Each structure stands twice: as structure tokens, then as C-alpha cells.
Amino acid sequence: MKTTLLATAFAVIGTPMLADGLSFGGEVETEYNMDAEKMTVILSPETRYEMGAATFTLSSDLSIYDSSAVDSWTATNLLEEGSRPDIDVTVEYVLQDGLTVYGETGWDIDAKDRKDVIVGVNFAF
């Protein structure tokens, strides 16, 4: 009973705090290669959480259609081993206008292995 009460309290009180700065979005990219006569459609959903000067992003590239594949509708194969998407994680921190430090990595679901960890600084002017 106490666990249910605590979970309810967190859901009622904590959700607005977590939701502030939380956003969901995505992008669909459709390409046609005229020389190779190949069409692809890639869906890239993204979840972003902003907290002060820090931004945490979780994203993935999902292959939806590939005209050169045996099964053109590749979205039906996303859960099969060898076709699973990678999960990408990025953290950015704005030091001042135009100056951002970042770190990024990911998880290869098929290989069950972490991708390279990359850190850097971006200066935009």
C-alpha cells in the first residue's frame, strides 16, 4: 500500500518537474540516388531533456524503406537480429553563447556493445 501511495505521489508531483524541459521530436529523410536507382526512407525519433545549460538527447535512425533490399519495407525487420537500430546518446553543455562542450556515445543493440565515446568543443561564430 505504501509503495502504491509513493508511486501515485511521484506521478502527481514529480511528472510536471520532469516534463519541464522534456521534448519529443523526429525527422524523416527520404532520398533517391539517381545513379544507383535506389530510394531510402529513414525515421529519426529523438527525445530531449533540457536542464539549465545542459541538454541530454537520446535518438536512433530507423530504416523504414530501402528499394535495394530484398524486403523493401525494412521497418518490418527492425526487431530482427542484424537489423536492429543503434541508440545514440548525446550530452551538450553551453558554456557561453557560441561555445558548447559535448559528449556522445551509443549502444549497438546487435553487437551488445557500447560505441566509441567522443568528447569535444564546438565554437560557433
Written as nine digits, the cell of 84 is: 536492429
Q: Would you state the torsion angle of the CA atoms of residues 75, 78, 84, 89, taken in this order, to the nearest 10 degrees?
A: 70
CA distances from 8 to 15, 50, 93, 99 (A): 10, 25, 33, 41
User: Distance from CA of residue 71 to its chain's centroid?
Assistant: 25
Whole-angstrom distance, CA of residue 74 vs CA of residue 85: 11
Q: What is the pLDDT along the chain (125 residues), one digit of tens a residue?
A: 555 544 555 555 555 555 689 999 999 999 999 999 999 999 999 999 999 999 999 999 999 999 998 888 988 888 888 889 999 999 999 999 999 999 999 999 999 999 999 999 999 99
pTM reported for the whole predicted model = 0.73
What single string gives the DSSP state of each residue in 50-68?
EETTEEEEEE--EEEEETT
